[in-house]
Structures are given as structure tokens and as C-alpha cells.
Amino acid sequence: MRILIKDLQQHIGSEVTIMSWVHIARDQGKMAFFDFRDMSGKVQGVVFGKPEVLEIAKTLRPEFVVEVKGIVNKRPDKMIKEGVLNGDIELEITGIKVLNTAETPAIEVSENNSIDINEEVRLRDRYVDLRTDRMQANLRMRGKVAQLVRNALYEQGFTEIETPIFTKSTPEGARDFVVPSRTNPGKFFALPQSPQQYKQLLMSSGMERYFQFARCMRDEDGRGDRQPEFTQMDFEMSFATEEDIMRINEELLIKVVQTLYPEKKIQKIPFPRMSYKDAMEKYGSDRPDIREDKNDPNLLAFLWIVDFPFFEKTATSDDPQAQGEWTFTHNPFSLCKPEHIENLMNKENIGDILAAQYDITLNGFEIGGGSIRAHDPKILRTILQILGHTDEKIDANFGHMLRAFASGTPPHGGIAWGFDRLMMILQNEPNIREVIAFPKTRDGKDIMMDAPSEIGNAQLRELSIKVDIDKKEL
Ligand code: ASP
């Protein structure tokens, strides 16, 4: 039976079998030393005095996959490595079976310094990169945080619900990725920039408390903390005030940190709040880094930003001074602050209307944002009119929302966390690619799978698509 390396301590004196990778191999003539690695940890092994085992041992190279039989021995006192898993034991190897060999990898797993290796190599051989301690920890902690959030939300009556990936364009302010429909020639699905409309429709559906670890797709230029597809912890709740949503999410973030990152310190609880205006005046940023000590990697300064303007003027491209149409700053489905309802309905003082919007920031990054929504169809229609939509366009693009809101939809609001960003900060990583198993390059490619890639003429014909690009330009 296979014993996990972390459990070897319970088998001192017995012969056991482990299944592992060769982490380090050192051939010393009559003896061979190894570090073996499995998902649970590492252990040292040694071969001596067994010529038939030594012969196989000498063929082992890093990243070979092996079944190793051995006796778990306590190390002599002066050989004990303090504070290291299995630092006080070693495996006296009695048999080795090679389950698979490995070519010399471009990334040396035992060096654990892959962050310094060329990004292209890391992304091409991602499966090797992910074997390093750092990347293993990042992915395992990501899973643990998600599990804790799920459990905590279920305890409060929330249900995780999946929403469609093939959908219609939803205005989150970025470009859509689109998918052609074979059965509807000339028509396209849009991939969701967020599940915003679906989660609100779930409130119309009587679900009351929804969340989802949702994949969102936005066709934006890549940056350190952006990926074309990323994960949100998406959340929506009926009969909730701004305070309710902020409180539940704040408690959840505190629970994540205190349970899974006990070494970290939250600068201030309850999280401080700052108006958008103050943040801009004082820090020139709507996500100021308010850490008292910026050299401390374990200091977490959460900050709520509130009182955002609902609308702003778009700049026209040729003249930055000239102002264009009204656009929304965050989310067209938000409600304004109750005291601004009259202005909104009269379309007066539009630039002064504040949204019932809150962003949560951490150490200078926006890690989430949300709002109370307009659940009254008259209010939503007015907002869309201010945004320059004609009634005809409103009915064509948002008719489903207006109909749902006219069918008995409770007041509701929500939030979404940028889950990758949160994990990046918690794991002290410099960019979100380090906490995503298979991220894209900066220019949006998957170089391991070689995607995106061209498709054949037959497939194009089936989709009724002609590609109009001079290949020489590519
Ligand atoms: N859908 C919004 C976003 O993706 C978040 C929210 O308001 O719940 O930014």
C-alpha cells in the first residue's frame, strides 16, 4: 500500500512503499542519496550495500517517477534537520521501480526559483513549473480559500449556481469575446464579462442568496493583474442593504485571513471606509495603498471606497478637453443613493448623482466591487436613457431585465471579488499568473496548447465565416 510522504513518521521501523518524483539525485559511488517528493512533502532516501538496488538507483534522474520501497529509520541526533518535514527520518531503500522516466526539464523543480526563469518557458512547460513548492502552495491555498468561502456562504444560506458561458453581450465596459453560432449563421454569442445579469435574474427567480466562482472573459490588453479570463467570487443577495453586503463580505475576508493566513495581520478591523472624493483628493487614486508599513509582506490593509459618482462624461478621442456622452463609472444596473433618486428620475445634476456602489481594496489593489441594484424597471429605464440608449434599443437589449423587474423582483445587491488578485496578494506574488494554473501570456496566448490557432476552411464554412486577413500581415 502506498504511504504518503507526510505520513512516514507514523511508520518508523517498518518497511513501506512510497510513490514519488525524484526531486534530487546524488550518486556517491557506493552510495546514492535522493530527495523524493510527492503531493504531501519530501523525504530523504539512501541506498547502500545493495548492489542490485544501487544499479537502478544510478539510473535515476530528477523528475523520474518511482515506486520506492524502504525502511523508515530515525536519523542519528546530530543529523536531524530541525524544522523540516521528515528532517528526523530517512528511507533506507530496499527496492526501486521506475514508473516513468523524464527528459531533463527546462525548469529545475528543486531550485524552486522558477519566478526568475523566462516566462515563455514557464508557460510552455507549465506542468513542470507547477511542481515547484511555490506553485504547489499557490494552487493548494487557492483551493483552500475557495473551499472556506463556499462553506462559510453555505452556512449563511447561499447557494452556488452556475450561469451560462454562451450568452449575450453584457455591458461591463470591456470588449467582448465572441463565439460564432453554426446553427444561427451570422450570429454570435458573447462570453460573459461577468454573470451580472444572470445573478440579478436569479434574484427575480426567488433564489435570494447566490454566489458563484465564476469565470469572466474580457478582451482587454494584458497587464500584471489582468488576464483575458479570470475568476470572480460573484455574490448577490435579495432584501439586502449596502451595510448587509459589506458586513458579510468583510466578515468573510477576515475569516479567510485569520483561518488560513494566521501569520498575516489585518491593519484595521472593521475595515476603514473612504469616499471616492477623499481618496482622489488625498491619494489621487480610487484604490489607495494605506498600509502603515509597506515593507511588511504580512500586513493587509483592507479599505472600502464608497460614494462613487454614478455617471461620468466620456472623453472624445481627438480632443481630451471636449466631453462626450454620459457613461457609467461601474455598473449600469446599480441604483443611486436614495437621496439622489429625484435628480436621477428628473435627469438633473447628472454628474453629482452618487451610486450605491462600494469597492473593496487591499494594499493598493481593487479586489472587489459591487452595488445595490435598480430593481424598479422605471429607474433602470431612466438610467439607460441617461446613458444615451433609445427606448427601442433599451427594449431590444435589456427587455428581459425590465420584464423580470416588472414580474416581482425583490430589492437586491451584490458584489464580486477578483479572486485571482486576492490570491496574488495573500500569496505575496507579484502578478496573477502565479496563482492561476494555466494562465495566458501578456498578449493573451496559451503557448502550451498553442491557442488561439487557425481553423480549417471546412470549419470556417460550417460557421459561415470568411477570414479577411492578409496572412502576410500576421
Ligand atoms: N459585475 C460587477 C463586476 O464585474 C460586480 C458587481 O457589481 O457585482 O465588476
* Mean pLDDT lowest among 14-28, 150-164, 308-322, 453-467: 308-322
Closest Cα to atom 8, ligand 1: which residue? 415
For ligand 1, mutation pick of 196, 200, 286, 422 (most atoms within 8 Å of CB): 196
Query: What is the pLDDT, as a whole number, of residue 226?
Result: 84
Centre of ligand 1 from the C-alpha of residue 64, in Å: 46
Cα separation, 134 vs 3, whole angstroms: 23
| Interval 39-60: pLDDT, tens | 999 999 999 999 999 999 999 9
| Interval 166-221: pLDDT, tens | 998 776 678 999 999 999 999 999 999 999 999 999 999 999 999 999 999 999 88
368 close to ligand 1 (CB < 6 Angstrom): no
Centre of ligand 1 from the C-alpha of residue 435, in Å: 21
172 close to ligand 1 (CB < 6 Angstrom): yes
Query: Which ligand 1 atom minimizes the distance to the CA of 195?
Result: 1
Indicate left, alpha or beta for 413 from its phi (over 0: left) and psi (-120 to 50: alpha). beta
Question: What are the chain's domains?
Answer: 5-100 (2.40.50.140), 127-308+355-375+410-435 (3.30.930.10)
| Interval 124-168: pLDDT, tens | 999 999 999 999 999 999 999 999 999 999 999 999 999 999 998
Closest Cα to atom 7, ligand 1: which residue? 370
Instruction: Inform me whether the pLDDT recorded for 473 exceeds 60.
Output: no
Global pTM reads: 0.94
For ligand 1, mutation pick of 212, 234, 358 (most atoms within 8 Å of CB): 234
Query: What is the pLDDT, as a whole number, of residue 180?
Result: 95
Centre of ligand 1 from the C-alpha of residue 375, in Å: 16
196 close to ligand 1 (CB < 6 Angstrom): yes
Closest Cα to atom 6, ligand 1: which residue? 370
